[in-house]
Amino acid sequence: MTMTFDPEQVEPAGAAEERSKLQQHFGRVDIFFFLVCTLVGIDGLGTLATVGGEGFSWLLICLLLFAVPSSMLLAELGAAYPAEGGPYVWVRMAFGHLAGAVNNFFYWVTNPVWMGGTLVGTALGGLVVFYNGGEDFSTPFTYVFAGVFIWAGTLFAILSFRVGKWVATIGALARFLLLGVFSVLVVAYGAENGFDGPSLAEYGPSFSGFVALVPLVLFSLVGFELPSAAGEEMTDAAKDVPAGIRKSVVATGLLYGIPLLGILLVLPTDQASGLSGFPEAIRQSLTVFGGEVTTAPDGTVTATLSGFGTGVGYLLGALVALVAFTSGLTWIMGSDRTLAVSCYDGAGPRYLGAFSARFGTPLRVNVLSGVLASVVFVAATEITDGDLGKFFGVVLALAISTTLISYLGIFPAAWKLRRADPDRPRPYRAPALGLLTVVSSAWIAFATVQLLFPGLGDEWFGEDYRLDGWAQDEKWLYLLTELVPLAVFVGIATAFWTAGRRHVARSRPVEPAERSTT
């Protein structure tokens, strides 16, 4: 299955052999649960709550004006071009192998970095709150936990979708259970103690909130295309992709909006944080089952659990860790496939473009992701203080944000392919495709600008926008610290593309009959 309309297209040597190893285990229900697991994370909920009601307002705005339009673009692409490695294939078809290689490297590298740099911390944050009295675990325990977290994820990514899809399903059900129980707890807590949320006026969106919050919200609302990374492992992509995306948009809105509102109503704004805000809100609401809430003279609120509240806290703390684990797993499962496909398609080293004959998964890329996630975790743990730490923090934040940059190639591909390949059957056609492309791409372009120039448009590199440890007069140094890694990523991706050209020379032309298949 070679997805192209280019008469000069050739099929790299060995590509058909790799595709023959794929196994079809991905149905409509699996796609929905996979998307819920992909889209709904908890690592950013506390951060959104730190700005009060405005965070909730910007979430709703971005759901309506970004998630909905972009999901329509991706539904059309996923249904019309159900190729393995979909996000890479779409960009390659629209803009060529080099653009596909660079864009896809950005798409892939985020995920092992995210797993080792943020998701481990999110899981540990939930365990610290409920299992260790709010005190950090010892360094040996932290390393052991991170090793199990990362390499268990790598193992499940290696196993076929017949196994991996069930882990994603469990992760999705864990989200429904965790966030559903939390919603009930919030109501019970409010009925007993009264609600202490922001005033109605504090929900009003502001320009400064737009500048500060939108990149974070967008990062939480991308991923509708990820199941299409396994397009040839689906049983009926033409019907199942649009249906799965449509349902997941609604589920994502509810599963983000309800717990965020709960955090705002239960936890004082100055007590929320990226890693512990949501677990702390859970612990405070759990006092309805046993425990007490005390307020220190400085306004710090502390919840202490007892009795049945402690037992339920253990369960919910484990669910927090499970949600973080499955967030990373689904992204690794999808993005590793796109990298492997690019490598057997002539946009990367052929060695990495190998699928396991036994499992039908990109084993070599899976292991590479596990190694990179481990390196990132060690670096993030050891480099914490001083100037070196502040530089590392910038690079880590950049690497985690590169997924957003990749959508500057993915979204326009829908418009380009409809124009360049008009005869392709499109089971789902996005309405007003040009407008949807412009709107979706504009949000991503804005987020990219804010990544390089935080606060631009309000107060470039002002106190509310720059990372800890940086001074206002260091904005040009910060920009250089952002541009250098970006240049390195582009250089690596270009080197991948150069390596991929070598085995394209041993390729055969694709027959017209093959080009017309789906």
The strand pair at 10-11 and 301-305 is best described as: unpaired
pLDDT of residue 511 exceeding 50, the answer is no
- Domains in the chain and their CATH numbers? 10-360+382-515 (1.20.1740.10)
Residue 339's Cα: distance from chain center in Å?
16
Q: Exposure of 417 by Cβ count < 10 A (0-12 exposed, 13-18 middle, 19+ buried)?
A: buried
Beta strand residue intervals within 328-395, DSSP E: none
Cβ contact 451:216 at 8 Å:
no
User: For residue 505, what pLDDT band results from cuts at 50, 70 and 90?
Assistant: low
Alpha carbon of 428 to those of 66, 243, 323, 431, 490: distances in Å? 19, 10, 31, 9, 34
End-to-end Cα separation, the chain, in angstroms = 6
Cβ contact 361:159 at 8 Å:
yes
How many other CB atoms are found less than 10 A from the CB of residue 167?
Answer: 22
Cβ contact 319:325 at 8 Å:
no
pTM of the model: 0.90
Q: What percentage of residues in the chain have a pLDDT greater than 90?
A: 53
Each residue's pLDDT tens digit, 308-328: 999 999 999 999 999 999 999
pLDDT attached to residue 386: 53
User: For residue 9, what pLDDT band results from cuts at 50, 70 and 90?
Assistant: low
Cβ contact 241:79 at 8 Å:
yes
pLDDT attached to residue 387: 56
As a whole number, mean pLDDT of residues 276-289 equals 82
> Which token pair is 85?
């490695």
pLDDT attached to residue 296: 75
Per DSSP, the three-state class of 230 is strand
Each residue's pLDDT tens digit, 422-436: 999 999 999 999 999
